[in-house]
Amino acid sequence: MIRNKFYVLAFAAILVAGCGSKAPEVKQEVVTQYKPVEVPVTVPCTIKPVEKPVSVFETVTTGDSLFVKVRALLADRESRTGYVKKLEAAVDSCNH
């Protein structure tokens, strides 16, 4: 039993002695390095506004023949198709 007390006291003495010692000083040097970092930057999209086509069908009166009305509708359809293609091209130029 005395032997156990001796071991416990020796162990406690070693622990206390370890806490009382001074930690070794370590000198650290600060090194500053600059590295290029690529960051995406937003660029405003500047496009010319696309003019809206004039509707030919709006010039048709109620007294015009069916042939004139259909021809005006077909002309409107072709001009709208061209207008849509111009708008899509403008949007694609901004997205790429």
**Which single residue is written with the structure tokens 């506004």?**
49
Q: Can you tell me the distance from the alpha carbon of 65 to that of 41, in angstroms, rounded to the nearest whole number?
A: 58
Confidence at residue 16, expressed as pLDDT on a 0 to 100 scale: 73
Domain region containing 53 = 48-96
Any residues with CB less than 8 A from the CB of 19 and at least 6 apart, and which? none
Number of domains comprising the chain: 1
Q: Evaluate whether residue 7 is within a structural domain.
A: no
Global confidence as pTM: 0.51
Q: Evaluate whether residue 75 is within a structural domain.
A: yes
Q: Evaluate whether residue 69 is within a structural domain.
A: yes
Confidence at residue 85, expressed as pLDDT on a 0 to 100 scale: 95
Q: Evaluate whether residue 72 is within a structural domain.
A: yes
Q: Evaluate whether residue 23 is within a structural domain.
A: no
Q: Evaluate whether residue 37 is within a structural domain.
A: no
**pLDDT tens sequence across 18-38:** 666 677 788 888 889 999 999
Angle at 90 between CA 58 and CA 57, to 5 degrees: 10
Q: Evaluate whether residue 71 is within a structural domain.
A: yes
For 95, the token pair is 């997205």
**pLDDT tens sequence across 41-73:** 887 888 888 899 999 888 888 999 999 999 999
